[in-house]
Homo-oligomer: A and B are copies of this chain.
Amino acid sequence: MMSSKNTPTRTKILQASLELLEAGQGAEVRMSDIAKRAGISRQALYLHFATRTELLVETTLFVDDLKGADKRLAPSRAAKTGIERLEAFVEAWGGYMPEIYGVGRPMMAMMDTDEEAAKAWNQRMWDVREGCEAAIKALKADQTLSPVYSVNQATDLLWTLLSVRSWEQLTQQCGWSQKKYIKSMKTLAHNTFVVAGTNLSQGKSK
């Protein structure tokens, strides 16, 4: 019974999985590949993870732990004004996406065929939506939310703007730099959701 313990072998597997996923630019990451890299037999993987999907899901949690997802989003929660919060969130999440894209890409690919994978990934994306909602609600509280949108509509829209797919298209397909992406998204979010007449990065409302 090793259940949810942090045994060294389990960690080695997750580490191997992560390395392959991050390196793999389209390269398949098979169970046998992961086993080889972790230095154990393919069968041994199944002693720790029931399915490939489960391993992948656990890898995404592993990466959150490593890269400190929570800490990154903290500044956004600490922001005083809604505008600052919106900006901080765009910056934090926008900066985090490249870190998880390595595992995110295969996860998104699996969503189409694997129910479990879809559930796990959607759950995580829903958490992101909550971040969006919090930022929008902070704007609303400051009365700096554009009257064009309801809180829900603005949240949906912001969430879509900041989706991994959109980030992927802009940075991978269009060749945008990370810097350009974040700057553009800040501008776009500001211009879209903040009531007219309030400047970027000058959140002294009232």
Contacts and interface: CB of A to CB of B under 8 A. Distances in A.
Identical subunits present? 2
Nearest to A125: B173
A192 B188 contact: yes
SS of A interface (majority): helix
A39 to B, nearest CB: 27
Interface residues of A, number: 29
A191 B165 CA distance: 23
Given A113-B109, A192-B188, A192-B191, A165 B157 contact: no
B113 A188 contact: no
A105 interface: yes
A28 B161 CA distance: 30
Interface in A137-176: 148, 153, 156-157, 159-161, 163, 165-166, 169-170, 173-174, 176
Given A166-B166, A169-B163, A188 B157 contact: yes
Contact of A166 (B109, B112, B160, B187): B160
Interface in A164-201: 165-166, 169-170, 173-174, 176, 184, 187-188, 191-192
Interface of A: 26, 28, 105-106, 108-109, 112-113, 122, 148, 153, 156-157, 159-161, 163, 165-166, 169-170, 173-174, 176, 184, 187-188, 191-192
8 contacts: A26-B112, A105-B112, A156-B174, A163-B166, A165-B165, A188-B192, A191-B191, A191-B192
Q: Which 5 A-B pairs have the closest CB atoms?
A: A109-B112, A165-B165, A156-B174, A160-B169, A160-B166
